[in-house]
Structure 1
Amino acid sequence: MKTSEDRVIAAADTLGVSPSLLSRRFRDVRGVTSIQYLRGVRLQKARELLSGTDFTLQNIVEQCGYRSAFYLSRVFKASTGQSPSEYRAGSRCPVAPNLELVPWMGERCSVTSSCGMGELQPHPERGAIAGMG
Structure 2
Amino acid sequence: MRTCVWCDKPLPEPQSKGHRRREFCSNQCKQRHYLWHKQMKHDADMIAEPYWKAAYSVLVERYKWIELRLQERISDLEEEQRRVDRLEEDKQYYIKRYEDLQIDYSARLKALGMSEQDIKEFDAYWTAHQDTIAQSNDELNDF
What's the TM-score bracket when you normalise by the shorter of the two chains? Answer: under 0.3
TM-score, reference length from structure 1 = 0.25
TM-score, reference length from structure 2 = 0.23
Higher RCO (CA < 8 A, seq sep 6+): 1
Larger radius of gyration: 2
Structure with the higher fraction of residues in helix conformation:
2
